[in-house]
Homo-oligomer: A and B are copies of this chain.
Amino acid sequence: MQVLVTGGAGFLGRRLAARLLERGFLAGADGRQQPIERLVLLDVVAADGFADPRVQVIAGDITDPAVLAQAIGAETMAIFHLAAIVSGQAEADFDLGMRINLDGPRRLLDRCRAVGHRPRVVFTSSVAVYGGDLPAEVQDDTAVRPQSSYGAQKAIGELLLTDYSRKGFVDGRVLRLPTISVRPGRPNKAASSFASGIIREPLNGEAAVCPVPPATRLWLLSPRKAIEALIAGHDLSAEQLGDSRTINLPGVSVSAADMVAALARVAGEAAARVRWEEDAAITRIVGSWPGAWNTSRAEALGLSGDQDFDAIVRAYVEDDLGA
């Protein structure tokens, strides 16, 4: 089978690609494992560094029909749609967010519909679809009420994927990801960038600023477990999804203060490199997200998160610091 990863040059996209190449197969439409013969990595920049002959790299705009026509053909049986403008940037550049986060998935789904072979599409959504006056633990039937353009665009993408699935144009599934922590590399323009930075920078000997109050609760998932969930979510059958194509993925609910305390437990002195300095814009966006949601559905489907935040910090040390 042919597999497409959009956002394939991004951090999660590259890691997913590496795992798919290592694993070598995905569930086909009939549920049986099928070898991955080609893995297409689409992004606005070329996903370089993959030597595997199965990899095909496409650099192009996801809203360009010619690019989508090149990326999705009759052999494309699985699509992981990760391409997105992150929350802080979508808030700052409304038009860019609408184009990539709304027109992007819509045109991708339209391309699938035009090809007519009903591929599986894994759409990544986010805690950011929730907001407003939330219960301590968000339930499956809690209404989404995004408080950012990114959240609104993701919620729209969810509705599109669900309706295109109902119409039989694709076999879609929406995985709502907790905030991913700890991301390697440099800070990005996501409002939640600090949720990685306050662990990563101190572990790399650098200072970090936490821009939200210590009591702010976050809902977190390690990259390792996120990749596992994306693949497991793909491999679920349409029957297992039943009448809802949206799954809230398991996470760990911790406060910003708890995160720094975990860092101190795992790495001692490093935690002293975190400085608390509130940023109103980031606090507004991140504070609108749920600190936890009910994950009984995900767990019943065999999807799991991390054990606790200490485990997340240790996973970063193992996977990214090579310790």
Docked complex Cα distance between A142 and B141 (Å): 6
Residues of B within 8 A of A275 (CB): none
Residues of B within 8 A of A146 (CB): 159, 162-163
Contact, CB under 8 Å: B244 / A132? yes
Contact, CB under 8 Å: A149 / B167? yes
Which chain B residue shows the least CB distance to A131? B243
- Chain A interfacial residues counted at CB < 8 A: 23
Out of B132, B141, B155, B162, name the residue touching A159 (CB < 8 Å).
B155
Contact, CB under 8 Å: A162 / B166? no
Which chain B residue shows the least CB distance to A245? B145
Residue A228 is within 8 A (CB to CB) of chain B in the complex: no
Which chain B residue shows the least CB distance to A113? B94
Residue A152 is within 8 A (CB to CB) of chain B in the complex: yes
- Chain A, 115-163, CB within 8 A of any chain B CB: 132-133, 140-147, 149, 152, 155-156, 159-160, 162-163
Most buried by B among A145, A146, A147, A149: A145
Out of B149, B160, B244, name the residue touching A152 (CB < 8 Å).
B160
Docked complex Cα distance between A145 and B144 (Å): 11
Out of B132, B140, B155, B243, name the residue touching A243 (CB < 8 Å).
B132
Contact, CB under 8 Å: A163 / B143? no
Q: Report if A152-B159 is in contact (Cβ < 8 Å); known contacts: A94-B167, A243-B132, A244-B132.
A: yes
Smallest Cβ distance from A284 to chain B, in angstroms? 11
Residues of B within 8 A of A141 (CB): 142-143
Contact, CB under 8 Å: A133 / B243? yes
- Chain A, 218-256, CB within 8 A of any chain B CB: 243-244
Residues of B within 8 A of A145 (CB): 162, 244
Docked complex Cα distance between A133 and B143 (Å): 14
- Chain A, 91-129, CB within 8 A of any chain B CB: 94
Contact, CB under 8 Å: B159 / A163? no
Chain A positions near chain B (C-beta within 8 angstroms):
94, 132-133, 140-147, 149, 152, 155-156, 159-160, 162-163, 166-167, 243-244
Q: What are 27 A-B interface contacts by the 8 Å CB criterion? A: A94-B167, A132-B243, A132-B244, A133-B243, A141-B142, A141-B143, A142-B143, A143-B143, A143-B144, A144-B144, A145-B162, A145-B244, A146-B159, A146-B162, A146-B163, A147-B166, A149-B163, A149-B167, A152-B159, A152-B160, A152-B162, A152-B163, A155-B159, A156-B156, A156-B159, A156-B160, A159-B159
Nearest 10 CB-CB pairs, A to B?
A152-B163, A143-B143, A152-B159, A141-B143, A156-B156, A155-B159, A156-B159, A149-B163, A132-B243, A141-B142
